[in-house]
Copies of this chain bind each other. A is one copy, B any other.
Amino acid sequence: MTRQLLATPDQYRALVDQFDTFLLDMDGVLWQGSKLIPGVDRALARLRALGKRLIFVTNNSTKSRASYVHKLESLGLYGAAPDDIVGAAYATACYLTSIGFPKDKWVYVVGQQGVVDELTAQGFQACGLEDTGVPFTGMDDLAAIQPDPRIGAVVCGFDGHLNYTKLAKAHTYLMSNPDTLFLATNPDVCDPVHGRTFPACGAMYSPLVASTGRSPRVVGKPNATMLDVIVRVHGLDRTCMVGDRLDTDVRFGLNGGCQTLLVLSGVTTEEALFSQNAIAPHYYMASLGELQYIP
């Protein structure tokens, strides 16, 4: 049975009794933009009082795990440690660790500080941020962009400072050596901001796909690479994935064999849930905040 509506405290209690661990998407589940979704603070406290493990899962690659703890606390959500956060940048660094990516190679990052922080936290050498703000004055600038045998991987995340110098360098590293790994933190082509959408990581690596003819290994939800990291670090027994998106969060949980709970506090409406049959969460409810009423 799927797409079961949970709407009463007894139903909430029956849900949480089935699980030891909740994987929680954040944007659209805990907050919308910079505002806490009402009741989520009390709901998380109630889940913890019931002995549940909470792991926060995000495709956002711009912030480190420590900065997510700060973001949670800034909205009144206390009790999370950096190890409770699994972000796409962290998962990407874990992937490189898992394949034994050599520590004497460099990772060229088309992305922001969060990606670099997670890579360096696992002992990797990362560069690319130094190309932020480098002006492009004409095609002759490109003579200075040369293949670099020290570069062993190109990692793309969301990059609000994307520029042509970064694209040209990443293109050069990927084209000059077919062994250069090509990774992307997450596949989202848009992020919701202020009630609209804006281009996101999945859009930003597309120029490199077009220019090189290569496709990156995409780490984040709904892909199995991110789930592998969670499995290895935390285990997945009696786990429920909670999210607001069908095509990333719910698919991610289903791909990993988890039970899934869709909340309607983010991008998916009840109408959208029932207007398609491709992705069906096990449960859905109005908002995670409702779990504050668990008896």
Contact = CB atoms under 8 A, between A and B. Distances in A.
A136 to B, nearest CB: 4
Contact of A194 (B143, B161, B164, B208): B143
Chain multiplicity (copies): 2
Contact of A199 (B137, B167, B176, B194): B167
Given A200-B211, A206-B209, A160 B171 contact: no
B210 A206 contact: yes
A69 to B, nearest CB: 19
Given A135-B133, A203-B210, A211-B197, A159 B164 contact: yes
Contacts of A208: 199, 203
Interface in A100-122: none
A172 interface: yes
A14 interface: no
Contacts of A15: none
A181 to B, nearest CB: 19
Contacts of A136: 160-161
Contacts of A256: none
A295 interface: no
A232 interface: no
Interface residues of A, number: 41
Interface in A137-191: 137-139, 141-143, 145, 159-164, 167-168, 171-172, 175-176, 189-191
Contact of A171 (B176, B194, B197): B197
Contacts of A160: 136-139, 141, 164
Nearest to A147: B196
Contacts of A135: 133, 161
A248 to B, nearest CB: 15
Contacts of A293: none
A198 interface: yes
Contacts of A202: 210
Nearest to A167: B199
A245 to B, nearest CB: 16
Contacts of A162: 162-164, 167
A204 B209 CA distance: 11
B190 A211 contact: yes
A165 to B, nearest CB: 9
A7 interface: no
A81 interface: no
8 contacts: A136-B160, A138-B160, A163-B163, A171-B199, A189-B211, A199-B210, A203-B206, A203-B208
